[in-house]
Amino acid sequence: QVQLRESGPGLVKPSQTLSLTCTVSGGSISSGGYYWSWIRQSAGKGLEWIGRIYASGSTNYNPSLKSRVTISVDTSKNQFSLKLTSVIAADTAMYYCARDRMIVAGPPAFDIWGQGTVVTVSS
Amino acid sequence: DIQMTQSPSSLSASIGDRVTITCRASQGISTYLNWYQQKTGKAPEILIYGASNLESGVPSRFSGSGSGTDFTLTISSLRPEDFATYYCQQSYTLPRTFGPGTKVDIK
């Protein structure tokens, strides 16, 4: 079955760029019917959707983060990635990648999640 | 953005109890409402999608109802493995938003 796994540095300095990758296994990121999302969870803000990408490269971002976020996809590696620039302490969180079921495949939902990776912003 | 609220924020219950959690959206979202369960140290897992559809593999003691702005998640008979935090999430529009969660612990 499809599995997702996040990877990337666990510690990022303030003002620098947070970079994470999600590797999809057990299925193709190019299969139809799914977006691929990033979601974060912090004690202060709960669960927050960051944005999503389709295999074609089409993206949607949360307006609250849009100016700092880029999500990209590498279909040859079956991966998608998150970059968050100019990070501050408030960006410290558990970051999850998730499969985002499109409406053509049924009511939209995050139906598969990665295990998550903790990112701490600190000097 | 659509704001999601949940009540209660926490509850204590016993094995075998019937548990009901409420979620409210700040505007109508039809039945585009999902419920997730999160256990300590784990990622959320989907339980219910489209307000009332049980995700494959989820026990039938879980059920969901509602439409518009008001929704409920019911656990008909609480089991030890159900002690967790439950989140609602709207999939009506972007950005996707989640409720603050309801923690269910042991009485």
Partner-chain residue, chosen from B31, B46, B94, that has the shortest CB–CB distance to A111 = B46
pLDDT digits (tens, 9 = 90+) for B63-106: 999 999 999 999 999 999 999 999 999 999 999 999 999 999 98
Rounded Cα gap, residues B84 and B100, in angstroms: 13
pLDDT digits (tens, 9 = 90+) for B11-63: 999 999 999 999 999 999 999 999 999 999 999 999 999 999 999 999 999 99
Partner-chain residue, chosen from A63, A109, A116, that has the shortest CB–CB distance to B34 = A109
pLDDT digits (tens, 9 = 90+) for A6-31: 999 999 999 999 999 999 999 999 98
Q: Which residues in B lie closer than 8 A to residue A43 (C-beta atoms)?
A: none
Burial A97-106, CB ≥16 within 10 A → b, else e: bbbbbeeeee
Contact yes or no for B32 and A107 at CB 8 A: yes
The chain A residues in contact with chain B (CB within 8 A) are 37, 46-49, 60, 62-64, 96, 101, 106-111, 113-116
DSSP structure class, residue A91: G
| Local confidence band at A44 (pLDDT 50, 70, 90 cut-offs) | confident
